[in-house]
Structure 1
Amino acid sequence: MIKKCTLYTFLTFFILTAEFKKVSGQNLKFGFEINDNRKSTIIPFEMNSNLIIVNVLFEGVIPLKFIVDTGVSNTVLIDKTYSDILNIVPDRKLTLVGAAGIKEVEAYIANKTSIKVGKITGSNIPLLILKEDYLNLQKTLGIKIHGILGYDFFKNFVVRVDYKNEVMKFYRPENFNRPMLFYKSIDMEIQQSKPYIFQRLQVNDSTELLSKLMIDTGASHPLMLHKNSSKYIQLPEKNVRDILGAGIAGSIEGHAARIPRLSIDKYNLEDITTNYPDSGAYEDIIKNTGRNGTIGGGVLKHFKLFFDYGNEKLYIRRNSIAKIKFKHDMSGLTVVAKGEYYLEPYYEIEKVRKDTPAYKAGLRENDKIISLNGNMGKDLSLDLINRTLKQKEGKKIRIKVKRGQKILSFTFYLEAFI
């Protein structure tokens, strides 16, 4: 029994640090820097399923879309096709292990690539190139994603992330003198190129836990907790079986539930939808880092954030999104994006969980969605479909699908499972 594929990007890469070398007689630039001695620069982004997506120029030639992901160490090219087009010869081959440790995949490291993001240029960037598009994010996001920007993109700057207005601002640390009077300062530890904070969780009605949580802009969930990281973290009685994310080794499965409260300094977030991956999925990570879980974009979007990696500080301030409650699918459907259908992307029902409103209404696997609550054609997107199916309990859903050669219409009402 598998639920809506709510598009979380959990990427666990065990990557050797690339060696930087000087070319004879030349001192080359390495890493990302702001162009033209500017003190700061603004980078607009698109938010899709709580993920930050930016336009990049790869090797000064090919425009691509990358996810900005604090949970990943290296810059990643998901599709080797683009490095092949430019005849980029990798420096070495790697074997990566998925989160569950049961599948190995091939990848390559190219040490001297160029990536431009707005007025920021990355020179001689070590690039992890996946042999194949193992993540298949187009299926679960509805748009083509070509790569990921990780720790390398953050480490040289102070970075403001404004989810509400969909912009990031990058400051040279030596020029950052903005007053932070209205922000709370939180100690942030950078371990193995990833940011961690220690905050309190109320995991049930009687238990509060000081937890070590990774800040992960590349995960769209609000919160993920590892049951095997603490005896106090247990799966709540009210839960639902779910697909929790896409990893290099395939889907990550587990359960979705809710916890009463997450406290981030003085800010309390309540009734938070929380993912519990199956035991063993992150066993090595828990053993090596002691982490209890991950804070993803579903929580982070409630704040304006400043990441200061150099001083290991996170500054936060609530925004107006904070008034929005944490939601979860209420239909029982897993919907994915497919290829070209009448020259348009189309959306197909991949799974229908039994005894849910959608199943009882008569919807089934492989039904192709034609319209949803009056939206059809170019008005439809995977993000819109997923948001519609988690709006509020009792919401009327009108859906028209194509099944074989038949056009069928169904009506049902959303129902909260957790």
Structure 2
Amino acid sequence: MLTKYAFVIQLSIHKITICVGLLLIGLHSVGQEFTFSGKKQKQSIQFKCVKNLIIIPVYVNERGPYNFVLDTGVGPMIITDPSIIDTLNFSLMRKIKLSGLGLEVVDAYVSQNVSAQIGRAKINYIPTAVLKEDLFNLSGHLGVKIYGLIGYSFFNSFIVDIRYSESRIIFCDVDSKIKYRGDKIPIIIENLKPYVDVDVDMYGGNKVGTRLLMDTGASHALSMEMLKGEAFPLPEKKIKANLGMSLSGQIKGYVGRVEAFHLGKYTFKDVVSGFPDFNSISQKIDLSFRNGNLGAEMLRKFDVQLNYQEKFMYLKPNSYANAPFQYDMIGMVIYLDQDKYKRLIVGEIDEGSPAEKAGLCPYDEIIGVNFKSIETYTLNDLSEMFKSKADRTVIFEMVRDNKVFFKVVRLEKRI
């Protein structure tokens, strides 16, 4: 059954951007940072890349490892599954409120006694917000068990080299001698998050300067939200889309393309972007410092070296740099059942989409794709299939009302 906590943006996990203002008061411990033990100054670890998101192993209170999303878009560490912490007594913890895009105000709890370890680097008291229950259901949407998100404390402690092309991160002490690769671009650190100034060309010749949140925890390429205090101008060619869900309902908006996107000296054409409904999101997040969000589908085209201390990054194009920007060609969300993680369920379906035309419905269970059991696919496999090629035929074996049937969907380039 479709859970009301299914937070998604068309399977790009437009990640619930956490508003951390309330967390900063009394939570950010001065002087606390990750450090290597002994003389160790540098380490390399592999990560899983699922729907463009970086998933790394993290030890919490010397237990684990647990899968966490490495996310420049969050400040304090967020634990979404409190079962990983022993003897957690919520009645003794300070309760705070979390809010953000795709998220109504919900309760979280501040913990001052959490340690975290990534590789051989450890922090003894990491600023942490603990959710009493897993509202995000990232596990269901990624197909991998996820226990939380970690960001600022790690990035601020090291020079971090994200090598998307190798599924590897290399991190070293900030005073290490580093060979930077590529081109240097300034970043701005505000409220524990990195921002970058870029130019965006809209169709019709209108070039605008924007400030975007750099968000490795959002798997889309772009989300354009605001310009000069009002909604960001929509492109002429666009489609209505369900950009996500909150506890109170859907976040509506459009998906279109911008003519060109300029990041430093690099220019990308026909970039797919979301355009969330301004009236909805302006009530949920503070847009005063940003015009939108730069996600991992764009960032993964580079190997990225981040230096928070000196406020710059280096970008070097990698093997993904020339891949075209494709949008989902089926028009539906799928997720693994939150309780069993074995049943693949259809969630939101876009109006007028190929999925709707073929007669798929929310709550349908998918048990096979192209005459293969659903167990032979990962969610990442299916996500790539659904944006692979216009006119491709996908055959679904479904269960609805305890009856098995087949549906044939022809993929369509919608934007």
What TM-score, normalized by structure 2, do the two folds share?
Answer: 0.89
Which range moved further: 401-410 or 86-95? 86-95
- 1:347 is aligned to 344
CA deviation map 1:349-388 (0-9, x unaligned): 1233343322333322222112223442431222211211
CA contact (8 A) 1:328 1:390 kept: yes
- 1:11 is aligned to 17
Which range moved further: 363-372 or 269-278? 363-372
Asked if 1:98 is matched to 2:106, the reply is: no
- 1:26 is aligned to none
- 1:88–1:63 distance in 2 versus 1, CA, 3 Å: farther
Distance 2:317 2:192 in 1: 26
- 1:111–1:141 distance in 2 versus 1, CA, 3 Å: same
CA contact (8 A) 1:304 1:319 kept: yes
- 1:63 is aligned to 65
1:196-235 pair list within 5 angstroms: 196-229=195-228, 233-235=232-234
Among candidates 363, 375, 384, match of residue 387 of structure 1: 384
CA contact (8 A) 1:3 1:241 kept: no
Distance 1:310 1:17 in 2: 22
CA contact (8 A) 1:242 1:254 kept: yes
- 1:141–1:346 distance in 2 versus 1, CA, 3 Å: same
Distance 1:321 1:92 in 2: 44
- 1:137 is aligned to 138
CA contact (8 A) 1:229 1:291 kept: no
Distance 1:17 1:288 in 2: 21
Which range moved further: 232-241 or 300-309? 232-241
1:152-301 pair list within 5 angstroms: 152-178=153-179, 180=180, 182-229=181-228, 233-245=232-244, 252-283=251-282, 289-301=288-300
Which range moved further: 236-245 or 164-173? 236-245
Distance 1:286 1:62 in 2: 33
Distance 2:29 2:207 in 1: 49
Identity value in percent: 27
**Gap runs ≥5 in structure 1:** 23-28
What TM-score, normalized by structure 1, do the two folds share?
Answer: 0.89
Distance 2:149 2:274 in 1: 23
- 1:88–1:355 distance in 2 versus 1, CA, 3 Å: closer
- 1:294–1:4 distance in 2 versus 1, CA, 3 Å: closer
DSSP 3-state at the match of 1:383: helix
- 1:315 is aligned to 314
Distance 1:172 1:248 in 2: 41
Letter in 2 for 1:404: D
CA contact (8 A) 1:12 1:247 kept: no
Letter in 2 for 1:351: E
Letter in 2 for 1:345: K
Letter in 2 for 1:237: E
Distance 1:257 1:337 in 2: 28
- 1:229–1:33 distance in 2 versus 1, CA, 3 Å: farther
Deviation at 1:247, TM superposition (A): 6.2
DSSP 3-state at the match of 1:387: helix
CA contact (8 A) 1:8 1:246 kept: no
Distance 1:323 1:84 in 2: 47
- 2:4 is aligned to none
Q: How many residues end up aligned between the 2 structures?
A: 406
RMSD: 2.7
